[in-house]
Chain A
Amino acid sequence: MYLIGNISIYLGIVISLYGIIANIVGIKKKSSKWLESARGAVLSLAFVASIASFLLLYLLGTSQFQYKYVASYTNESLPMAYKLTAFWAGNAGSLLLWAFLLALYGAMVVFSKEKKNPMMPYVSSILMVNILFFFTVMALNANPFEMTDKIPADGKGLNPMLQNPGMILHPVTLYMGYVGLAVPFAFGIAALILKRMDSEWIKLTRRWTLLAWLFLTLGNVIGGWWAYLELGWGGYWAWDPVENASFLPWLTVSAFLHSVMIQERKNMLKTWNVSLIILSYILTLFGTFLVRSGILTSVHAFGDSNLGTYFLVFMAFMMLFSLYVVMTRYGLIKKDSSPIEAYFSKESSFLLNNLILVAAAFAVFWGTMYPLISETFTGTKVNVGAPYFNKVMAPILLVLIVLMGICPLIAWQKAVFEKFMKNMLWPLAMGVATAIILFAFGVKGIYAIIGLSATSFMFGTHLQEFVRGINARRKATKENILKAAFKLTVKNQRRYGGYIVHIGIAIIAVGVISSHTYSTEVLKTVDVGNSIKTGDYSLKFNELTEHTKNGNGIVVADIDVTYKGKDIGKIKPEKIFYETWPEPSTEVSIKTNWSQDLYVVLSSWENKDKVTFMVKVNPFVSWIWIGGIIMVIGTAFALIGGRPTTFRYQINKGISKVGG
């Protein structure tokens, strides 16, 4: 096993080196044999990475404690699901996961229907440079197949915080997003190297980019859900450096997904788009660097090695290489770019949207790095915590929501202001009505009311777009409303997929604004039989019991809950004392309804009869998870259908000609 594992890692290095060389020779000699051989190398890499990955899974699942990695992250009593997911609990395993996913992506790309595309040898070389880096780091610094000096009787076990279904999915989805971005990056660079300044690379990578964005979204939402359930502080997003690291590429890819639409339709913003995808890719490396370097304090416990240096060097190399390619082709890119026809047009509004998204990314980057910058240049240690990000990001995200409401109403090429105002009437009325209703019901907090009204306006715009589309279709075909709605969305999957994503964002925004502004918290010590009252809830503490499960001691509080005087059942927050972990783990208990979460933490106890609880009432938190699911559905909807926009325009042009 030891040999197979190590051979697979070293083979990974050799094969990726060979693949790169075969591609270079193939390109130089214009030899299809060499290029075919390089394609074989990518497939072999996927095979080798699969062997290494399945081997590690086997070692983890069968508790082979003679391997350092297995002994460090699992133990005998760990349930099988968590034994296997310990794969990505540490540095070595997560690097292997990265290499495995990248190799799979690489194989899918080079064996896609575009395999004969002249860009492909460049694309596969760039992907193989990435794979080479990961295998090299594993061989030099973080080998998952390293043996222990002395075989321990049992392993150290997995961090209790990672023993949650959220942690099974969160790292994998996030990695699939990170790794997925290497594909459009490789295509962008390949197009530049080949001096193909048209939008072909964008069309070829649309689905890859959307897929990466989908996984990044999913990864972030699941991460928030895990934090909410597992960390016990009652929140879902702490603006932790590592959380920020995954949010940064999400923001820049969001900008990219919008601006490529302009390049597809209008042949504009070529430099901008290629810069955005390079930036997004570099940010994925930067994120990994942050997680692994330990240069910033984070709840993510990866920063215990010198892996950061490797990532810093690789990041610098890729950045300089990309910069060189862009600079040497800059004149060509600019040469045949089309101009914008009017300030007041969809093109301009997309540019503005890009500015806001990039500004948001800059603000997050700045806040994340400022403690380090400040200490380096001024010698003063400064913390930049959640209150900073909340204050800085709130206005930026508010503008973004307003823009999301305005953009769909603006026409391409040149919008007419009067028509725009007419289109905006109903959504605006919806926003104003929301503000009035909130005031009328005595809701406090002017900023939250502004935010909720803006969200309502944005939602109204999208609702109106759906209604208008359905009506237009019905007018033309006399179809019934359901058929028209179905056909409208199916025939325009890109547009309506995007609108569904925006609706998901509106729902998340309601959850974020409400839970942030109107959350209440009570920390109270009660005796058996006594109650804690908060909001419409009353919690009666019955008893504190103790039992063991999988060798771990569990203390459970039994609480009866009433809502507005009506019995709604029991709630049982726990504390788990793991044998292999010094600190107890908190298992929060949550009761959810459509408008709020009752979030209870068993905080501490003096004796069995006197216990302290933290009780939070978090409004609309479940909307965040629902919004996340809607976003994923919308993205998947846009992903599985929809032809490139230019193709659609060719049809439309044809119609115009036929129609005279």
Chain B
Amino acid sequence: MNRKILITTLLLLIVIPGMTTAFTYNSKEFKQIIGQLDMQGHADHELSTCSVKKIYYDEVIEMLNGGKTETEIIQSYVDEYGQAALRTPGGGTSGWIAWGMPAAGVGIGSVIVGVWLRKLTVKKAESKLETKEEWTSEVEKEIAVKTFDEERRKLF
């Protein structure tokens, strides 16, 4: 009898914490997973009016409460729908190209601009106007010159 009580108590101790930590729509883990899923194009829809999104939400909650990890849940969707299950490109060549191309674009663009600048730039002695310490900034110089002009026009 005592053994039965002991086993039941132990089982309850194992199950109760699991029950109290049941996942909800507000759980961080849930939000993290759901944020990665495209949900057949319904990811940005409003939950209350989108039945497809609701199904996904409930499925993910069920899987989380069933003890599945984030990786397992995501993988289960990728197994079912392929890369199209995710909101962003995943691994593989296709994913690398998707993520790498903007960086490559910036890199190639920088090289082009660099070469262009080199071609466009001529070494020239510093202009006298620029080296004068009369003006502390370009703006100050321009504003003052314009203001002098206005004053001149007023006077003459």
Contact = CB atoms under 8 A, between A and B. Distances in A.
Interface string B67-92: 00000000000000011101111001
Contacts of B1: none
Contacts of A603: 47-48
A539 to B, nearest CB: 15
B21 interface: no
Contacts of A408: 139
Interface stretch (B2-10, B12-20, B129-137): B129-137
17 contacts: A359-B106, A374-B94, A380-B83, A382-B98, A383-B83, A386-B87, A413-B127, A468-B140, A472-B147, A475-B144, A476-B143, A476-B151, A477-B151, A492-B142, A584-B49, A614-B48, A652-B145
A658 B80 CA distance: 80
Interface stretch (A32-40, A312-320, A348-356, A451-459): A348-356
A133 B101 CA distance: 35
A387 B121 contact: no
Interface of B: 24-26, 31, 35-36, 38, 41, 43-49, 82-84, 86-89, 92-95, 97-99, 101-102, 105-106, 109-110, 113, 116-117, 120-122, 124, 126-127, 130-131, 136-140, 142-152
A469 B143 contact: yes
A476 B117 contact: no
Contact of B122 (A340, A363, A521, A601): A340
B144 A343 contact: no
B121 A491 contact: no
**Interface size range on A against B:** 35 or more
Contacts, number: 201
Given A233-B44, A583-B49, A604-B48, A488 B143 contact: yes
Nearest to B38: A383
B83 A382 contact: yes
A475 B143 CA distance: 11
Dominant secondary structure at the B interface: helix
B138 A297 contact: no
A411 B147 contact: no
A387 B130 contact: no
A603 B49 CA distance: 8
Contact of B95 (A233, A382, A472, A604): A382
A422 B136 CA distance: 9
B130 A413 contact: yes
Contacts of B140: 468-469, 471-472
A348 B116 CA distance: 10
Contacts of A392: 99, 102
A232 B44 CA distance: 9
A-B interface, 4 closest residue pairs, ranked by CB to CB distance from nearest: A385-B87, A363-B102, A232-B46, A381-B84
Contacts of A523: 24-26, 47
A4 interface: no
B111 to A, nearest CB: 10
Given A299-B44, A651-B149, 16 more contacts: A233-B44, A348-B117, A351-B113, A366-B98, A366-B101, A383-B41, A383-B83, A387-B87, A392-B99, A392-B102, A423-B137, A468-B136, A476-B144, A476-B147, A477-B147, A601-B46
Contacts of B126: 414
A341 B116 contact: no
Nearest to A298: B41
Given A382-B95, A472-B143, A652-B145, A366 B44 contact: no
B48 A233 contact: no
Which of B35, B41, B48, B106 has the most A CB atoms < 10 Å from its CB?
A: B48
A388 B89 CA distance: 8
B120 A359 contact: no
Contacts of B143: 469, 472-473, 476, 488, 492
A473 B130 CA distance: 20
A201 to B, nearest CB: 21
Contact of B93 (A363, A367, A378, A575): A378
A384 B89 contact: yes
A409 interface: yes
Nearest to A465: B139
A363 B44 contact: no
Contacts of A416: 130-131
Given A233-B45, A352-B113, A370-B98, A385 B38 contact: yes
B55 to A, nearest CB: 14
A153 interface: no
Interface of A: 231-233, 235, 238, 240, 268, 297, 299, 339-343, 346, 348, 351-352, 354-355, 358-359, 362-363, 366-367, 370, 374, 378, 380-388, 391-392, 396, 408-414, 416, 419, 422-423, 465, 468-469, 471-473, 475-477, 488, 491-492, 495, 521-524, 575, 583-586, 601-604, 612, 614, 648, 651-652, 655, 658
Contacts of B86: 383
Nearest to B150: A491
A362 B105 contact: yes
Nearest to B106: A359
B127 A522 contact: no
Contact of B109 (A339, A355, A412, A652): A355
Nearest to B120: A340
Given A388-B89, A476-B144, A651-B149, A468 B139 contact: yes
A392 B116 CA distance: 26
Contacts of B25: 523
A655 B139 CA distance: 17
A384 B147 contact: no
A226 to B, nearest CB: 14
Contacts of B146: 491-492, 648, 651-652
Nearest to A491: B146
A298 B46 CA distance: 15
A366 B26 contact: no
A396 B101 CA distance: 13
A652 B150 CA distance: 11
A472 B117 contact: no
Contact of A231 (B46, B130, B136): B46
B116 A351 contact: yes
Contacts of A473: 143-144, 147
A355 B138 CA distance: 24
A414 B122 CA distance: 11
Contacts of A410: 138
A639 B65 CA distance: 60
Nearest to A239: B44
Contacts of A468: 136-137, 139-140
B147 A355 contact: no
A489 to B, nearest CB: 11
A410 B139 CA distance: 10
Contacts of B87: 383, 385-388
Contacts of A346: 138
A235 B93 CA distance: 32
Contact of A384 (B31, B41, B88, B124): B88
Contact of B144 (A240, A396, A472, A604): A472
B102 A359 contact: yes
Contacts of B122: 339-341
Nearest to B47: A603
Contacts of A233: 44-46
A495 B141 CA distance: 14
